[in-house]
Structure 1
Amino acid sequence: MIRINKERSEKRVGMWRKQEGARTGLTELPKTNATSQQAIAKTSVQMNRDLYESLQRGALHEASVLENARAAGTLAAKKTSSVLPYCHFKPLSAVAISFDWKVGSGVWELLIEAEVKARHAATVDSEALMAATVTALAVFDSCKSISQSIVLGPCYLSRKRT
């Protein structure tokens, strides 16, 4: 038997509505409060020297590995609300994923930065984190047959502007 308590109390915490005895849910955002949103997330893929050199030699078609990872990260940013149940869908105006190498002193690391922009009432930090994480995962997926010593992360929000 299901009982509904119409008198249960509600607490608002940010955009979340928490009801006593109920699950947290997604609240409606006001449509008039759309502002320019931007978030930058960063992560890395640490690898051994052999894998780094294979990528540099083109043995794994580095451009293909990085371009496929960029495409996966972009798609992940666009689909974030499909994966996170309490994340509002946002039409993104830009997703930019860039790569840089940090090499030296026994370190071979691919640095990944994902920048996401939108005009919306909700922030785009989850979309930026999703883009960076999935980009790193796509690099791992392309390289896992060459090396078992790939380390992903940490992944963190570098900048957020609302």
Structure 2
Amino acid sequence: MSEFTHFNESGKARMVDISEKTETARTAHAASSVIVSRDVYEKMAEGKVKKGDVLSVAQVAGIMGAKKTADIIPMCHPLSLSGVDLSFRWEERGEEYELHIAAFVKTKGSTGVEMEALTAASVCALTIYDMCKAIDKGIVIGPTYLVEKTGGKNGDYRRNQA
């Protein structure tokens, strides 16, 4: 049996059958980042971005992204999420500023929420780009990665932060 679970016996794409899996509490924490110029950072901090409060809009967009993951990632199961939260932390890097994005997702179900957390972090970062691109199109997004997940038959995972 292949370790790739999203292929059937013919090698074609399939949605994995989770009907026999045990329902457990599951969590996922994903991270992304956005690197912006000093000008973008200052306009965001002073509330002078014409499209509005960038971080508030991005936070809501990230939550919406988590809720819509199954609509945009073909093999994801629609999930009933019990919680989605995003947090931000700025880091000055000379003339640039890096915004660290942390996305936390929870559910009680038969499959994990890693994709929902990754989607939340990604949509949040993309929203920041969209809202600030008129100021500077040189914004850099990423890396985006899974930090940690809990629950499920494969057990817990924590990224090695070497």
Residue 151 of structure 1, CA deviation = 0.5
Contact 1:41 1:113 survives alignment (8 Å): yes
Residues of 1 paired with 2:110 and 2:86: CA distance?
23
Verify: 1:55 aligned to 2:55, yes or no.
Answer: no
Where in structure 2 are the equivalents of 1:13-162 lying within 5 Å? 13=3, 15-20=5-10, 22-30=11-19, 33-60=22-49, 64-162=53-151
Unmatched runs of 5 consecutive residues or more in structure 1: 1-10
* 1:33–1:144 CA distance, 2 compared to 1 (3 A): same
Residues of 2 paired with 1:138 and 1:54: CA distance?
16
Q: Deviations over 1:21-78 (max 9, x none)?
A: x412113213661101100110111011111111122211797211111111101100
Q: Hey, which of these two has a bigger chunk of helix by percent?
A: 1
Q: Which amino acid aligns with 1:109?
A: E
Larger Rg: 1
Residues of 2 paired with 1:34 and 1:157: CA distance?
22
The 3-state SS of whatever aligns with 1:89 is: coil
Normalised by the length of structure 2, the TM-score is 0.85
Q: Hey, which of these two has a bigger chunk of strand by percent?
A: 1
Residues of 1 paired with 2:4 and 2:27: CA distance?
19
Residue 15 of structure 1, CA deviation = 4.5
Residues of 2 paired with 1:59 and 1:137: CA distance?
19
Calculate percent identity across the aligned residue pairs: 36
Contact 1:55 1:61 survives alignment (8 Å): no
Contact 2:58 2:127 survives alignment (8 Å): yes
Q: Deviations over 1:108-136 (max 9, x none)?
A: 11111100000011110000000000000
Query: How many residues in Structure 1 have an aligned counterpart in Structure 2?
Result: 151
Normalised by the length of structure 1, the TM-score is 0.85
